[in-house]
Structure 1
Amino acid sequence: MSSDRPWFQQYPEGIPREIDVDEFPSVVSVLENAIDNYRARPAFSNLGKTLTYAEIDELSRQFAAYLLGELKLKKGDRVAIMLPNCLQYPIATFGVLRAGLTVVNTNPMYTARELRHQLVDSGASVVLVLDNFGDTVQEVVRDTPVKQVITTGLGDMLGFPKGNIVNFVLKYVKKMVPEYNIPGAVRFRATLEAGRRHELPTVEIAPSDIAFLQYTGGTTGVAKGAMLTHRNLVANMQQSAAWVGTNVRYGEEVIITALPLYHIFALTANGLVFMKFGGLNHLITNPRDMPGFVKELKSVPFTAITGVNTLFNGLLNTPGFDEIDFSRLHLTLGGGMAVQRSVAERWKKVTGVTLVEAYGLTETSPAACINPMDLKDYNGAIGLPIPSTDACIKDEDGNVLPVGEVGELCIKGPQVMKGYWNRPEETANVLDPEGWLHTGDMARMDEQGYFYIVDRKKDMILVSGFNVYPNEVEDVIASMPEVLEVAAVGVPDEHSGEVVKVVIVKKDPGLTEDQVKAHARENLTGYKHPRIVEFRSELPKTNVGKILRRELRDESPR
């Protein structure tokens, strides 16, 4: 670790400088420990149905036994899980891990192009998909290494008759389930039945085994899989649990999980940390339905909630939110994007609880810095490096900069990924020989060891906590024959932090804004869609012809 670590002096009482990364050899051992300690306690609830730790144990074992016994998957094989927050997610994820396999978390909102890339790149043998997105899988599965498709309806784990009603309403009333036909696909419930016929063998899982291939956007516009090992995830769980756990009541916590579990923030902070605490994850399937979300919050005696700035802002602006009983709430953690001061101050005023900002990356499993839990008010910092984590600010030549100077934030610790899947050059670009992860974020550290993000070194756009890489958007728009040149930049937005803006030089004078947006809808997930389309006669460029995105960004009203 670096010699000068002033942040230790700011650690709240009871927070260790180092964590025991070897207490649990794998994520599976964390799960099994929670099952032993909290068998009868509720573990996950969704749409009125709750599963205990014992039930998660039994169902995930059945799924693991199906994968090994029926499909004959081998250790290290990849299984893609394409689900929103629902009870099938923890069952399937823990089943995959218990079988010694690797989870490929897959955004259900992916377009066919994005899904095809991820399934091919990861070499996934199996994909589990919600019926609502089955048509996307149908479109691409022939072009991928996938041998088995497993399908499920949102109501499938809710029991009779509720599950049947939910599935019927989604398909026939709300028309949210398109027709699709995937020959040879099996239903999730059938896999659990099949798994009962097989003994689950003892699977040796090493700390260095890859637990998750967590895809993150690339500066080249190609998503790449961060290899997160069991040790990475266990380390980050231990770090985060030590940081937030000083006033936790084991076996009694109820955390609202509105961010998708396929996103690394909710996966670790909610799924793993609160499992260690023996807590209940209350899964919100569609947090975009803010009135429905607020109505649900009124019926749940929750103690903790995580989210991104847009989620908190949305709740605060939904009628009825201020009528919720916040008497048990003691932890609100914001990450994924910058928390805005106005939102944090309003959250404290309405709930009585400080919105504590954290900072992390997919590549750090994700937590690297968190503000102290006893923080009285929002401070604009991303916090202090958490236990067993080192952080510093480096210049372009790799020299460590002194206090107050702006440079690239670099992170070191047991939560830092193994590297990018099958991309040694990309790995070498971000992980230096000394083990420092170069985050691409420009930051500074103050005398007390608090870190502040100043700007992004990359041209990445952050929409509601999701990374949007301009190159990917530009590649899609540039594929239109009517487009001569295009640049994509992020512009500030009060709802989502930033939105995508594209500036286009036309090849065909008849090209319209509507055509551009329609093309984007076909090829990009919703949050990557350009909200603003501007046409110009030329784009600003360097003397070697590189488009100056920064100039376009600086012109945008702030």
Structure 2
Amino acid sequence: MSQVVFDERTKIWHGSPVAPLYNPAQGLGELLHRLLARTPTRIAQISADTGRSLTYQQLHLGCIRFAQSLTGSCGLARGDLVTLVARNGDQLAAIVFGCFMAAIPVNTLDPTFRAEDYEHMLRTVPPKAVICDGELVPVLKQALEAVAIAPQLIVIGKRVNGYPTVDDFLLPTGLEECFVPQHVEDPARELAIVLCSSGTTGLPKGVCLSHAICIAHTANLWRATDCDRVLCFSSLYWVSGLGVLLNATTAGATRIITRQSFSARLLIDLVEQYRITTLFTPPAQALALLGEGTIGMADFSSVRLVLCGGGAVSGELKSSFEKYLPRRRAKFIVGYGLSEIGGGCFATAGPYKAGAVGTLNAGMEAKVVDEQGNCLAAGEEGELLVRGKFVFLEYYGNVSETAQMLDREGWLHTGDIARYDEEGMFFVVDRRKDIIKYGGYQVSPSELEAKIMALFAGSVLMVCVTGIPVPGNDLPVALAVRQQEGTVLEGQDIVDGLAEVVSDFKRLRGGVFFVDELPMTPSGKVVRRRCKEMAIALYEEREQQRKEGGSP
């Protein structure tokens, strides 16, 4: 367990004051330029799709050429913004690091977005250039036309419609030996990357991160070694994808990459084939892995560390996963973080308590407050606020949303309901915006979801509880996905089963609706706002049918 200190007077928890592994008073490009040259012959990445491996020397050369081409033939200047939409392919690292070395900020979008999502982000964060996978050219052209902007378009992979390709930008320049990365004068204030807020409760916002915050959080959650082989399916749209890329690269580790979407079978195959030592997985992927029929025969003997974060992780999920890991040699660490903090805030590096997100990471502070902003004591539930030496700069072009998230004292208002115990272990109970209010009581969706999953573990694959707004109340209702076709389970079974184990005001008075799937973000989080829309539509349809049929 990390060393944490509690201030009795202020009721603020402080993580250990350990200095960052790398000096944040420099630009990311400057740091990477130095570290990539440190281990030239080691393997930086292996593509599971093509089998192609890339040494750190080859990666370094690609970064330099890309940076030189961006500011040369492409004509981009320091501070010009680039939008990147790509899967985890061979050239992705060189593109991102090349941008950092040229001091050109990158806005990373997910390759599974719909056209309207691209339109929203391109309107929010207009770029000077768009770099994308070839198959995404049509949808991005559509989005750019809708937004009425015309940035340069650069294609990853085969040439499309005459657009330049990344291969063109990786050709020899003849100036590689004299390359010097752009010096970043104020790393704490200069923009390095624009990530997106999760979009689980509203449209994504552009989270602006400085060079300093990215460096400060490198190796904060875990410290990779040059012997590690790391696997993460997250695209660079997610802070987890960025964190894994930076952590592994700066440590000289080998990343196993694939353009393929996650599947439990693929993950098992990659772990076995490449002897993965470090695995990052969000809870939804971990659950899918546990549901894979061949998991009992999988060889996870190489795995030393599993990092699980990006959503609620139950004690049951953790213990079930650990059964397949080497005993006493592997750790399953639950983490909690935000894009706005640049990475992780909490981790369960020590003894685990069911439902916990862990203790504070080094250099972090946290407190729990009531609706009036008063700090709460151990065991009391309120909004979780976190603070670090570096926080996000702003939501791109959105002053009002920035002010709501970040107060004048540098505290980030997470919107999560949490509590802590006497030992500094934090427990995230729910999202404040997701709380259902019924009869004057507050109902936690995640509490009901956990109980439903426990009661109907063999029949329900996933569930989302939300509130149906009716005059004076919210009616709790559940959307559920059956475990498999042919499962004999009715909605009333769930309503009745839950009613036996919860207080009266927590009952599912809106009922249960079975659906084929829940709307998910690309990283496997349930999109609650869309679930709410689905639930309202299904509820209204049912009520209309009842009226037409004369049912009470």
Pair in the same fold by TM > 0.5: yes
The 2-side partners of 1:7 and 1:394 are apart by 12
What's the secondary structure of 1:344's corresponding residue?
Answer: helix
Amino acid at match of 1:203: Q
Q: Does 1:28 align with 2:56?
A: no
For residue 307 of structure 1, what is the aligned residue in structure 2? 281
The 1-side partners of 2:480 and 2:375 are apart by 31
Amino acid at match of 1:348: E
What is the Cα deviation at residue 147 of structure 1? 2.1
2:321 is matched with which residue: 332, 341, 347? 347
Kept in 1: contact 2:196–2:238 (CA 8 A): no
The 2-side partners of 1:345 and 1:494 are apart by 23
| 1:540-551 aligned within 5 A | none
The 2-side partners of 1:132 and 1:321 are apart by 33
Q: Does 1:380 align with 2:355?
A: yes
The 2-side partners of 1:68 and 1:150 are apart by 14
2:114 is matched with which residue: 111, 114, 132? 111
| 1:145-544 aligned within 5 A | 145-153=149-157, 185-193=163-171, 200=179, 202-205=181-184, 206-207=186-187, 208-217=189-198, 221-240=202-221, 244-245=222-223, 250-268=225-243, 270-352=244-326, 353-372=330-349, 374-375=350-351, 379-459=354-434, 491=479, 534-536=538-540
What is the Cα deviation at residue 538 of structure 1? 10
Kept in 2: contact 1:257–1:284 (CA 8 A): no
The 2-side partners of 1:490 and 1:363 are apart by 30
Kept in 1: contact 2:270–2:276 (CA 8 A): no
The 1-side partners of 2:212 and 2:323 are apart by 39
What is the Cα deviation at residue 535 of structure 1? 3.9
What is the Cα deviation at residue 424 of structure 1? 1.3
Report the more deviating stretch, 15-24 or 284-293: 15-24
TM normalised by structure 1 equals 0.74
Residues matched between the structures, number: 457
The 2-side partners of 1:132 and 1:404 are apart by 51
Kept in 2: contact 1:216–1:223 (CA 8 A): yes
Q: Does 1:39 align with 2:64?
A: no
The 1-side partners of 2:311 and 2:23 are apart by 31
What is the Cα deviation at residue 287 of structure 1? 4.0
Instruction: Go from structure 1 to structure 2 and tell me whether the alpha carbon gap of 1:537 and 1:6 turns closer, same or farther (over 3 Å shift).
Output: closer
What is the Cα deviation at residue 113 of structure 1? 1.4
What CA RMSD, in Å, does the superposition of the two structures yield over aligned residues? 3.6
What's the secondary structure of 2:72's corresponding residue?
Answer: helix
Amino acid at match of 2:334: E
Could you list the per-position Cα deviations for residues 85-116 of structure 1 after superposition, in whole angstroms to 9, with x for gaps in the alignment?
Answer: 11221111111111110010011111111112
The 2-side partners of 1:256 and 1:91 are apart by 18
TM normalised by structure 2 equals 0.74
Instruction: Go from structure 1 to structure 2 and tell me whether the alpha carbon gap of 1:339 and 1:451 turns closer, same or farther (over 3 Å shift).
Output: same
For residue 141 of structure 1, what is the aligned residue in structure 2? 144
Q: Does 1:90 align with 2:93?
A: yes
For residue 160 of structure 1, what is the aligned residue in structure 2? none
Could you list the per-position Cα deviations for residues 392-418 of structure 1 after superposition, in whole angstroms to 9, with x for gaps in the alignment?
Answer: 101112111111110100000034211
What's the secondary structure of 1:295's corresponding residue?
Answer: helix
The 1-side partners of 2:475 and 2:34 are apart by 51
Amino acid at match of 1:54: Q
Kept in 2: contact 1:125–1:145 (CA 8 A): no
What's the secondary structure of 2:260's corresponding residue?
Answer: coil
Could you list the per-position Cα deviations for residues 126-173 of structure 1 after superposition, in whole angstroms to 9, with x for gaps in the alignment?
Answer: 1111122222012122334342111123xx6xxxxxxxxxxxxxxxxx
Kept in 2: contact 1:102–1:213 (CA 8 A): yes
What's the secondary structure of 1:343's corresponding residue?
Answer: helix
The 2-side partners of 1:424 and 1:445 are apart by 31
The 2-side partners of 1:120 and 1:2 are apart by 44
What is the Cα deviation at residue 219 of structure 1? 8.8
Ranges in structure 2 where 5+ consecutive residues have no aligned partner: 436-444, 450-463, 484-512, 544-552
Report the more deviating stretch, 411-420 or 437-446: 411-420
Report the more deviating stretch, 420-429 or 433-442: 420-429
Instruction: Go from structure 1 to structure 2 and tell me whether the alpha carbon gap of 1:217 and 1:295 turns closer, same or farther (over 3 Å shift).
Output: closer
